[in-house]
Amino acid sequence: MYLQLWIVAVLGILSLQVFGIKINYEGDQVLQIIPQNKEQVNCLQHICQSSQLDLWKPLQLEDINVTGVVYVRIPSIVLQSVKEDLLHCSLSFELLFDNVSQLMGISEGTKRIRSKRSTTNYEYTKYHSMEDIYNWINLMSQSNSDLVTQHYLGSTYESRPMHYLKISKPSNDSKKIIWMDCGIHAREWIAPAFCQWFVKEIVQNHQKDSRIKKILKNLDLYVLPVLNIDGYIYTWTTDRLWRKSRSNHQNDTCFGVDLNRNFNAKWCTSGSSTNCTSNSYCGISPVSEPETKAVVDFVEERKSDIICFLTMHSYSQYILTAYGYSEELPKSYNETIKVAQMAAAELKKKHGTDYKVGTFANLLYEASGTSQDWVHDLGIDFSFTIELRDNGTYKFVLPEDQIQPTCEETMAAVMTIIEYVNDKYFPNKASTTFGDLYPIALLFYILLTSAPLV
């Protein structure tokens, strides 16, 4: 039975690669399974392994625990046999999604004309293809050239350019850097949507919003809208649930590295895998991937200027501080947790959404090789991973009607963090400046100089 499944799976993958067919999730189900004892854990691991099932939670077989919740996607062709196998181990299951492809239909919304040629009618409440996003990056820098510039960070494995946007008010003073990247994990579509929303908000409000005005006096904002471009494109063309990059280290037997396991922070120890078929495959060596290298080169070169590093993911609704690679707490923990809590409180004020705050290792499972930990160990204390909506209903296929509320509340959180670091590093310039006081000063001057005339 298993051999037959294997042949079907291998043929399926081959035909995908040869003919470029899109993976069809029609009839696939997502089951929730909670193993009650060690035997059931082993049995479930065995079923997942032999049928090569797509684990949604946890990411790795080794992280399946007694009474821990497991979500797993079962392709429609093996549904019957997997359910029988589950029953053999007395594993009960609950149906979480009845038809995965239907869910994706909802999440992607109706067909629409893409590649709009203007930034004023760009639809920020829709998900966009990489082609759209490349166009948007161009338009954003061209139509706001006094504030936004486009820069080359590096190239992806499939030779696509990685561009970031630099938002900077012209000034003679040297400024510090806030870094934000989105889309290191391909299927987490809400993250790139947020990066675009963030840039739009800053550009639209930089003349009227006093908080934005304040931070732009001291800070430049660097935004990388999609870090894992090859993977993102693959989620549009072929497999909506792809997570990794698209590099090919094992002569076509398996593809992709989890770029958030490829950084040099206790690389490939806990919570990552040396098996290239795993969703948390750490790569052949630290920084083996060109996308990782592009970020590392930039951060190393500018490390004395970067005062805050934000990396945007989904889902789970967490604001995470270092470390992911161990349960120990860094020196900066008390202060970073305080900032994260302030951010979560501001976030909740928008739409009542609850976020948890903590270290990744303590909230979920350990993860080594993450960008957040590497940046933190380089000496940049304010290094956060933000896991956006939702809390498990739609997971990676968050419907488009949640893009706006998600971005609004995330904006509140991110601005809280940025304002905190701004006020910390620029305490004197944090409050009012002469520019703000000028009208009052003028009034006093008029009053004083005109007094003798009365």
Instruction: Quote the least distance from Cβ 360 to Zn ion, whole Å.
Output: 11
292 makes contact, choosing from Zn ion, ligand 0X9, none, with CB < 5 to 8 Å by partner type, with: none
Q: Does 313 bind Zn ion (CB under 5 A)?
A: yes
Which residue number, 136 or 189, has a Cβ lying nearer to ligand 0X9? 189
Which residue number, 84 or 327, has a Cβ lying nearer to ligand 0X9? 327
Q: Does 154 bind Zn ion (CB under 5 A)?
A: no
Residues 221 and 202 sit within 8 Å (Cβ to Cβ): yes
The CA–CA distances, whole Å, from 71 to 229, 255, 301 equal 27, 23, 41
Instruction: Quote the least distance from Cβ 68 to ligand 0X9, whole Å.
Output: 15
DSSP states of 84-97: HHHHHTT--EEEEE
Instruction: Quote the least distance from Cβ 371 to Zn ion, whole Å.
Output: 10
Catalytic residue among 188, 201, 346, 387: 387
Which strand (E) or helix (H) includes residue 359? strand 356-359
Angle between helices 190-205 and 403-425 (to 10 degrees): 60
Which residue number, 222 or 323, has a Cβ lying nearer to ligand 0X9? 323
Angle between helices 190-205 and 130-143 (to 10 degrees): 10
Kindly state the DSSP code that residue 393 receives in the 8-state scheme.
S
Instruction: Quote the least distance from Cβ 295 to ligand 0X9, whole Å.
Output: 14
- Rounded distance, CA 402 to CA 125, Å? 8
Give me 406's structure tokens.
């998600």
Instruction: Quote the least distance from Cβ 188 to Zn ion, whole Å.
Output: 5
Which residue number, 91 or 320, has a Cβ lying nearer to ligand 0X9? 320
Q: Does 175 bind Zn ion (CB under 5 A)?
A: no
The CA–CA distances, whole Å, from 310 to 111, 406, 430 equal 32, 16, 21
Contacting residue, 128, 175, 176, 185, with Zn ion by CB under 5 A: 185
Dmax over CA atoms of the chain, in Å, equals 103
54 makes contact, choosing from ligand 0X9, Zn ion, none, with CB < 5 to 8 Å by partner type, with: none
Instruction: Quote the least distance from Cβ 273 to ligand 0X9, whole Å.
Output: 12
Which residue number, 206 or 240, has a Cβ lying nearer to ligand 0X9? 240
Residue nearest to ligand 0X9 according to CB distances in the complex: 324
- Rounded distance, CA 86 to CA 258, Å? 29
Residues 216 and 206 sit within 8 Å (Cβ to Cβ): yes
Stretch that binds Zn ion, among 187-195, 210-218, 290-298, 404-412 (CB under 5 A): 187-195
Q: Give residues 56-115 in contact with Zn ion (rule: CB under 5 A).
A: none
- Rounded distance, CA 103 to CA 425, Å? 45
Q: Is 322 helix (H, G, I), strand (E, B) or coil?
A: coil
Known catalytic membership, residue 39:
no
Contacting residue, 161, 358, 399, 405, with Zn ion by CB under 5 A: 161
161 makes contact, choosing from Zn ion, ligand 0X9, none, with CB < 5 to 8 Å by partner type, with: Zn ion
- Rounded distance, CA 422 to CA 354, Å? 25
* Cross-strand pairs, 176: 219
Which residue number, 43 or 287, has a Cβ lying nearer to ligand 0X9? 287
Which residues lie near ligand 0X9 (CB under 6 A)? 185, 188, 260, 313, 320, 322-324, 360, 367, 370, 372-373, 385, 387
Write down the residue that tokens 């303590």 correspond to.
Answer: 362
Catalytic residues: 387
Q: Where do contacts with Zn ion occur on this chain (CB under 5 A)?
A: 161, 185, 188, 313
